[in-house]
Amino acid sequence: MSEKSVIIIGAGMAGLAAAYELHKAGWNTVVLEARGRVGGRVYSVRDFSNGLIAEGGGEYIDEDHTRMLSFAKEFNLPLGKVGSWQGQSGDWGAFEGKAGPLENTSLWGANLNDEYHKVWVALSELGRQVNDPAHPLTALNAKELDSKNAAEWIEAQNVRPLARELFTNHIRSEYTCEPKHFSLLDLARNAALYYSDPETWHTAYRVMGGNDLIPQAIAACLPDLRLNTVVMSVKVQAQEVVVKYKQVDSFHTLRAAHAILAIPLTAARMIDFDGTLPIAHQNMLNGLSYGAVTKVMIEYRKRFWHEHGWNGRLNTDLPIVLTWDATSHLEAEHGILTAYTGGGPGEALSRLSDDERIKTAVSVIEDIFPGSSEMIENTRTIAWVNEAFTRGSYMAYAPNEMTAHWQALFSPAGRLSFAGEHATIIQGYMEGAVESGQRAARELIGRQ
């Protein structure tokens, strides 16, 4: 067994990025993926008419996501521009039984965009309490911030209640949890990382043809990638890592000098580590919180929203929370609206059957735009909590969890390294997953 041998568990963006770096550096890599496809939570849905595609998982590649942009360039994958996912001109709200543009003062009694902007200015101020987003525990009042939740901060903002509701929906959408379950320290860390300038919202992109073309392209470069392999146990020893997995009805054992765990911690909890993880890492694996999110993708024969001067982006106090035009980067008569629902409403929709969840989303849009349901061509949905090899959306630090687990998350457990959207400062993004995988690979290479 070569010291330059590694088993990568998970063929999402983190695992693939790690394997790609190590393979190029001459390492012997084996990638084990429980699903019958690569990509993990990068999952493009192609069950629509006229070649239309919607993203069932990771959706946005921001203009500063250099690693994802580099992959797109390397594999000659064109990108479609979609604007900022945080907010755009033409955004609508649906609150208290009313619906219309957020800037419609006669409808809301105020320009909700202006009121909402005040919260973002306050958020930039909050971010100043974290000087280094890569090391949030060094903030002077880190422990105090971590003991508080984002709901307390939102309620303290001197803005109209609907603006606070809008930001509550932002927490549900960006972090897929309820504000009361989200650490104020991590909100401040994210504010320092992304939102120091409240006047600037950066644009984002989707891969033309589907974001999952990137993981597929990386996977095609790897020499040993095994699908439908469910890891049963991982034993971290002094000189090697022993991994046992099931493929169809057969059980197999692999040994390597190192391993990288590149799956959600919610799924990793199903693996038997045979007591070989340090206590801090076992506590981290069991203790970190994840959010819940669902997507309902509705294909309409006509983009009726353009007739209403609406861009397809809708913030609501209704069961679906948020919608957007999943095909805004494409020119076509048909269009797809995605209803994206995180936090408590996402948990509620996750408990429904697929048909019930679709019916709920369709009815919300039909109530606001009567007759729209008659134009529906196809519908699809996914609830990531219900996916056996995901069991959640992505990590969302609950109060006191950063203080307890940050250090363990970013340090290897002997010969086992951690990667994934959770093990990065760019948490929750495809870009972060890639960063974590490349970093884990570089650290292994640096040990030689």
Prediction pTM value = 0.97
Total domains in the fold of the chain? 3
Question: Tokens 């379950």 correspond to what residue?
Answer: 181
Are 207 and 329 in a shared domain?
yes
Question: Does some domain include residue 391?
Answer: no
Are 172 and 131 in a shared domain?
yes
Evaluated on CA atoms 215, 221, 222, 226, the torsion sign reads positive
Question: Does some domain include residue 394?
Answer: no
pLDDT digits (tens, 9 = 90+) for 325-354: 999 999 889 999 999 999 999 999 999 999
pLDDT digits (tens, 9 = 90+) for 414-441: 999 999 999 999 999 999 999 999 999 9
Are 253 and 155 in a shared domain?
no
Ramachandran assignment for 180, one of left (phi > 0), alpha (psi -120 to 50 degrees), beta (any other) = alpha
Q: What confidence score (pLDDT) does residue 1 get?
A: 66
Question: Tokens 């500063």 correspond to what residue?
Answer: 64
| Single-letter amino acid, residue 415 | R
Are 16 and 103 in a shared domain?
no
Are 99 and 180 in a shared domain?
yes
The range of the structural domain enclosing residue 34 comes to 5-41+212-288+404-447
Whole-number Å distance between alpha carbons of 352 and 294: 11
Whole-number Å distance between alpha carbons of 402 and 396: 10
List the structure tokens of 200. 């600037």
Mean residue pLDDT across the chain: 96
Question: Does some domain include residue 310?
Answer: yes
Question: Does some domain include residue 393?
Answer: no
pLDDT digits (tens, 9 = 90+) for 182-235: 999 999 999 999 999 988 878 999 999 999 999 999 999 999 999 999 999 999
Are 13 and 54 in a shared domain?
no
